A and B are shown apart, each in its own frame.
Chain A
Amino acid sequence: MSRISEAFKDNKAFIPFITCGDPDIETTRALVNEMVKNGADLVELGIPFSDPTAEGPTIQGANLRALNGGVNKEKIFKMVKALREEDDISVPMVFMTYANVVFSYDAERFFKTCSEIGIDGVILPDLPFEEKDEFEEISTSYGIDLISLIAPTSANRIAMIAKEAKGFIYIVSSLGVTGTRTAITTDVASIVKVVKENTDIPCAIGFGISTPEQAKVMSESADGVIVGSAIVKLIEKHGKSAVKPVGEYVHTMKKAIQI
């Protein structure tokens, strides 16, 4: 069983997202440790991009802070390696970034590095089903899952995407970009139903989730819940002192989705 499947095995998975290097790479490492200690089942690590077109203002800000702070791929890879080898982090970790970040590094070199440092999957929001051939053969050859996304507008595409999906499926809860929302109106349950008819891999819901109540409701339809902007807001507010409040937040959210 892969590390990713393992994460969804016993209970609903809580999946936090943070941007590497926001506010600096040392804090990112401390945050991952703290989040795992407080129940994170899988960690999504953003590699910052200058023009993150799928992000709302909160995560755009994190990308900007990270890049201004001088983070780069080598520093991020080194940190992930340290998390695995020195900190004994055993939960799955996936990168979230944009196609150009992978392409410009050379896809072969990127996925090879991912496998060497202990990354399990890669999420690229600007790589839809139609373009996944760009990287999929290479990612598969290094045992890295290229994570598929399903959106509220996917409709007739859900089955097609689910059938070829790997690792877990990222269900986008709402139209638009990342960011906290007061209400999520998409009929997530009916999307999950079609997914489940077509694949056995787990699915997690993200976009707009910030409160324990929302997380609870979403977790009733899916196998896991992804939270990004709400955590990034805490990091924006507390900077290097964000480790403790983020840990507490993760603890609360994890507790809310326990069965």
Chain B
Amino acid sequence: MSERKGRFGIHGGQYIPETLMNAVIELEEAYNHYKNDPEFQSELAELLNNYGNRPSNLYFAKKLTGELGGAKIYLKREDLNHTGAHKINNVLGQALLAKKMGKTRLIAETGAGQHGVATATAAALLDMECVVFMGEEDTKRQALNVYRMKLLGADVIPVTSGTATLKDAVSEAMREWTSRIDDTHYCLGSVMGPHPFPVIVRDFQAVISKEIKEQILKAEGRLPDAVIACVGGGSNAIGSFYNFIEDKDVRLIGCEAAGRGIDTFETAATINTGKLGIFHGMKSYFCQDDEGQIAPVYSISAGLDYPGVGPEHAYLHDIGRAEYVPVTDDEAVDAFEFLSRTEGIIPAIESSHAVAYAMKLAPKMDKDKIIVITISGRGDKDVAAIARYRGENIYE
């Protein structure tokens, strides 16, 4: 009887080719060693604070609160991190770990390009080689980020298989890892894939909720009533939720990309529309057809355009600890514009899904209630795409 590792309830596990098993075992051993190593932790803290610009602000959005007329809204400003998103938290951790393991090369998948940019950044800083796999469709939607990665010294490989989006970039990065393991670490960008990735990425992102807790206690003397974050694979959401899981009075709300609506096939809302399955190394919920074929999902947001969800989210859903709500393209674009105008903050289109749900929820809550929205990234990368969505054909 073999030991089944990395489970969140029935979810998680290590459904990967034998070729990669020793690599993930080695990674798990290294992580278990270094996570308790004070020197590693102080090096990482130094990187996160002085290079990554942590802690990120918890900003009271006074105008947004006033406009919506309900609960007080705070924004956790992960968009102010170096490279413009929460992705850097995980990447600095994994890159440092890989370096300690003697790896000289990082590979990564990317959807919107934020994780790719973060990985390329860490590779530049730590003198490592970097190759980023990105769906060809996404290289068009996020052309600016492709050039940023190249500028940082990374090779960007457009992936043409399947739907040429994030799912295919993950598959291709896994294929690349099976062909070159000795010197290469697969810097996975979300709380997904085989164990130990969902644990490692969650631990490195948990700094978000650790800071929110300290900051809100300082500002308000109490915990928030709700924490809201967008969910693709789910890394910024699990980071935002993690230190509140035991605080049962804090509602945890993950916002899934519904695309054109959960009653259409053009959606990426996995928990709302998917079924239990096994893919990309994990058991979790996946958008799939009756034959078990993975569905070609859709969202305006390249970062949420993924047919699965991290196993810990699937578990939090199963036990009813977190809620997962669908948000459409239209609602997200409205929120993107609304936050830009009211607060002068342009959120990433991914994060706009969380803002959109908060816009529905806040007016229904009393004025003494508190909502925290994680703004997982900044929206500069999305400006041209949103302009096109609104019918203005601008060039980047």
Contacts and interface: CB of A to CB of B under 8 A. Distances in A.
B22 A126 contact: no
Given A60-B161, A100-B286, A130-B4, A54 B294 contact: no
A229 B91 CA distance: 36
A101 B181 CA distance: 27
A157 interface: yes
Interface string B1-33: 111110000000111111111110000000000
Contact of A100 (B4, B181, B288): B288
Contact of B15 (A51, A99, A150, A157): A99
Interface string A32-49: 000000000000000001
B19 A129 contact: no
B278 A154 contact: no
Interface string B165-187: 00110010011001111000000
A154 B18 contact: yes
A133 interface: yes
B19 A51 contact: no
Contacts of B171: 51, 53
A76 to B, nearest CB: 11
Nearest to B5: A130
B21 A128 contact: yes
Contacts of A104: 275, 277, 288, 290-292
B18 A129 contact: yes
30 contacts: A51-B162, A51-B167, A51-B171, A51-B294, A67-B293, A72-B291, A73-B291, A100-B278, A100-B279, A101-B291, A103-B277, A103-B292, A104-B288, A128-B14, A128-B15, A128-B16, A128-B17, A130-B5, A130-B14, A134-B278, A149-B18, A153-B18, A153-B22, A155-B22, A156-B22, A175-B178, A175-B181, A176-B19, A176-B175, A176-B178
Closest 5 CB pairs of A and B: A104-B292, A176-B179, A151-B19, A50-B293, A99-B278
A48 to B, nearest CB: 8
Interface residues of B, number: 41
Contact of B278 (A126, A155, A161): A126
Nearest to B276: A103
A157 B16 CA distance: 15
Give the interface SS of chain B, mostly helix, strand, loop or mixed: mixed
A117 interface: no
Most chain B CB atoms below 10 A, which of A100, A151, A161: A100
B275 A133 contact: no
B280 interface: yes
A72 B179 CA distance: 30
A167 to B, nearest CB: 16
Contacts of B277: 100, 103-104
Interface of B: 1-5, 13-23, 161-162, 167-168, 171, 174-175, 178-181, 275-281, 286, 288, 290-294
A143 interface: no
A129 B25 CA distance: 13
A250 B15 CA distance: 33
B191 to A, nearest CB: 19
A127 interface: yes
Most chain A CB atoms below 10 A, which of B5, B13, B17, B276: B17
Given A130-B13, A172-B19, A175-B180, 5 more contacts: A67-B293, A98-B279, A128-B14, A133-B1, A151-B19
A130 B162 contact: no
B179 A175 contact: yes
A51 to B, nearest CB: 5
A245 interface: no
A8 B354 CA distance: 59
B18 A128 contact: yes
A127 B15 contact: yes
Nearest to B21: A128
A72 B293 CA distance: 10
B281 A126 contact: yes
A126 B13 CA distance: 11
A128 B4 CA distance: 11
A111 B304 CA distance: 35
A88 interface: no
Contacts of B13: 130-131
